[in-house]
Homo-oligomer: A and B are copies of this chain.
Amino acid sequence: MKILEERIKQDGVVLPGNVLKVNQFLNHQIDPDLMLDIGKEFVNLFGKEKITKILTIESSGIAPAMMTGLLLHVPVLFGRKKKSSTMPGDVYCAHVYSYTKKIENTVTIESKFLNKNDRVLIIDDFLANGEAVSGMLEICQQAHAQVVGVGIAIEKSFQGGAKRIKDQGVHLESLAKIASFDNGQVQFVEESK
């Protein structure tokens, strides 16, 4: 997705440890118009799948997921990293390790919001090692819900998570695919251009 790649080139900052900081438009300050464009692209890619629900994880997944849900008129469900005080005992959960933050979160979904009749599109802001997406796939499996696809804004292709998920037969699409951060510069995978 050209405008997302251009925005990453313009405003993204490469930090040590292969971390890409996009606080300017996605992870802290959010550009709603860009999020709508991302939502439109996910609708182009997955819109024919009769999606009943969008699944994401707080907090940075919420914005792109919301715009996709708005365009498809389906509910957006976000996993909480801590169990909320207003959540009952009946939940699905998965353990998700964050390599960036070096902590493990337990992601929780109330079981009444996901069931075997759901056709789920999983959306997230970043995919690196694939821990968050794997956790969401696990939650859908617990709910016997069908995952029709995974839509990612920014994939760090060199970290292997995308390959691992596709190898399970999951239809995964990423709008910007990063090949490397060599010399602190963002290099995109050629095929995505």
- A171: interface (CB < 8 Å): no
Q: State whether A70 and B32 are in contact (beta carbons under 8 Å apart), knowing that A59-B78, A87-B23 are contacts in the complex.
A: yes
Task: Flag A20-40 by CB within 8 Å of B: 1 or 0 each.
Answer: 010101011111110110000
Task: Flag A64-77 by CB within 8 Å of B: 1 or 0 each.
Answer: 00110110011111
The 5 closest A-B CB pairs, nearest first, are A58-B59, A32-B70, A32-B69, A21-B86, A30-B76
Q: How many residues of A contact B (CB 8 A)?
A: 39
| A84-B101 Cα distance, complex, nearest whole Å | 8
| A63-B67 Cα distance, complex, nearest whole Å | 9
- A117: interface (CB < 8 Å): no
| Number of copies of chain A assembled together | 2
Query: Do most interface residues of chain A lie in helix, strand or loop, or is the interface mixed?
Result: mixed
Residues of B within 8 A of A66 (CB): 30, 32, 35, 62-63, 66-67
Q: State whether A75 and B29 are in contact (beta carbons under 8 Å apart), knowing that A15-B86, A58-B58, A58-B59 are contacts in the complex.
A: yes
